[in-house]
Amino acid sequence: MTVTATRETRPSPQAPAKKPGGGSRRRAWATRAPLLPALVFLIAVTQLPFVATLVISLFDWNSLKPEKRHFTGLSNYASVFTDEALRESVVTTVVLTASVVIVSVVLGLLFALLLDRAFFGRGFVRTLLITPFLLVPVSAALLWKHALYNPEYGLFNGALTWFGELFGIESIAQPEWTSEMPLIAIEASLVWQWTPFMMLILLAGLQSRPAEIMEAARLDGAGPWQMFRYLTLPHLRRYLELGILLGSVYIVQNFDAVFTITSGGLGTANLPYTVYETFYRAHEYGLASAAGVVVVIGTIVIATFALRTVSSLFREEASRA
């Protein structure tokens, strides 16, 4: 960010450089000065806390035992990778992220393909489909936990009962959704929220398909499957990558669904939830910071790929234009 700021304020070559040395330097600073408060603010709110988290992660620091705080080097990081609960939460995070992203991309693609056709009320349907993504994550999770999954008064079991009554079945099965399939229950609620996001990105991709090429393919006698397989899908590759990577970055960090639906029980605690537990329940500031740093590094790795994809997308657009 610093680099961007300096580059923008560097005196342009056309500007007459009157005096070399002191004068131009002062001038350069004068042009930079108005940007400084913003820069300082940016560093204060983004970089310093992270550095501080790094520092804290090197301490054995339990907030309820302040007198025992001491420097321990990298032992907190060793704990992150050796503690069984933390290790399990890393696996859970990977499984949760991968399954949610894959399923919502596939569903998103289906919806995008359907929405790409012209039909009456398309705008209305599109808005309806986007709605889950606009919901506050914690209220979406509450909706799933209580209104849908609850075995006593949830919609799913209510629908089953209604179905049973319709066919005269006295006591139809009333599964306890969250207890019997805890991870799937969380994944389903996340898929519901993230499918619209994937759909939007892929719809944008579909609508940027060059119509004349599709037309030409049709004239050449290509069937719908061939057109999808050899024209649409290659065109969508970039958009799929973008959706997968952005989705991964956000779903790795998911906290609301795990916190609300299962409170981390039944093997559903992912890394962000475990960081929360370590900080709030165990009061282990050092360990929580170390786990937080691991999440950030993981996210940065994914984000790097995401940013590369976005920039290559722009390059392609630019070269086509």
Partner 1 sequence: MPHPGRRSRPPVRGRACAVTAALALLATGCAGAGGTSFGGGDALNVLMVNNPQMVELQKLTAKHFTKETGIKVHFTVLPENDVRDKISQDFSNQAGQYDVATISNFELPFFAKNGWLHPLDDYAKADTAFDQEDILQPLRESLTAEDGKLYAQPFYGESSFLMYRKDVFEEQGLTMPEKPTWEQVAKLAERTDGAERGMKGICLRGLPGWGEVIAPLTTVVNTMGGTWFTEDWEPRLTAPEFKKATKFYVDLVREHGELGAPQSGYAECLNNMTQGKTAMWYDATAGAGSLEAKGSPVKGKIGYVPAPVEQTKSSGWLYTWAWGLQKASKKADDAWKFVSWASSKEYEELVGATSGWSNVPAGKRASTYTNPDYRAEAGAFADVTERAISEADPKNPGTQPRPTAGIQFVGVPEFTDLGTRVAQEISAAIAGRQSVDAALAASQKLAEKVAEEYR
For residue 315, state whether it binds partner 1 (rule: CB under 8 A): no
What is the SS3 assignment for 71? strand
Across 158-172, b (16+ Cβ under 10 Å) vs e yields eebeeeeeeeeeeee
Helix ranges (H only) for the chain are 2-9, 22-32, 36-42, 48-56, 75-82, 84-115, 122-134, 137-142, 155-166, 177-180, 182-207, 211-219, 224-227, 233-252, 256-261, 271-280, 285-320
Q: Which stretch binds partner 1 (CB under 8 A): 42-50, 70-78, 114-122, 127-135?
A: 42-50
Return the bridge partners of 284, or none.
62
Question: Using CB under 8 A as the criterion, what x/- string covers residues 210-239 for binding partner 1?
Answer: ------------------------------
Of residues 53-92, those binding partner 1 (CB under 8 A):
53, 55-56, 62-67, 85
* Secondary structure class of 283 (helix, strand, coil): coil
User: Quick one: which segment of 44-52, 106-114, 190-198, 220-228 binds partner 1 (CB under 8 A)?
Assistant: 44-52
Stretch that binds partner 1, among 193-201, 212-220, 225-233, 292-300 (CB under 8 A): 292-300
**Residue in the structure block whose two tokens are 């001038």:** 27
Question: Smaller CB distance to partner 1: residue 115 or 256?
Answer: 256
Among the listed residues 9, 75, 99, 299, the single contact to partner 1 using CB under 8 A: 299
Task: For residue 265, give the amino acid letter.
Answer: G
* Contact status, residue 90 vs residue 271, Cβ threshold 8 Å: yes
Build a one-symbol-per-residue string for 236-275: x at contacts with partner 1 by CB under 8 A, - elsewhere: -------------------------xxxxxxx-x------
Please, what is the minimum distance in Å from the beta carbon of residue 45 to partner 1?
Answer: 8
Binding stretches for partner 1 (CB under 8 A)? 1-3, 43-44, 46-53, 55-56, 62-67, 85, 145, 149-153, 174, 176, 178-180, 182, 261-267, 269, 277-285, 288-289, 292, 296, 299-300, 303
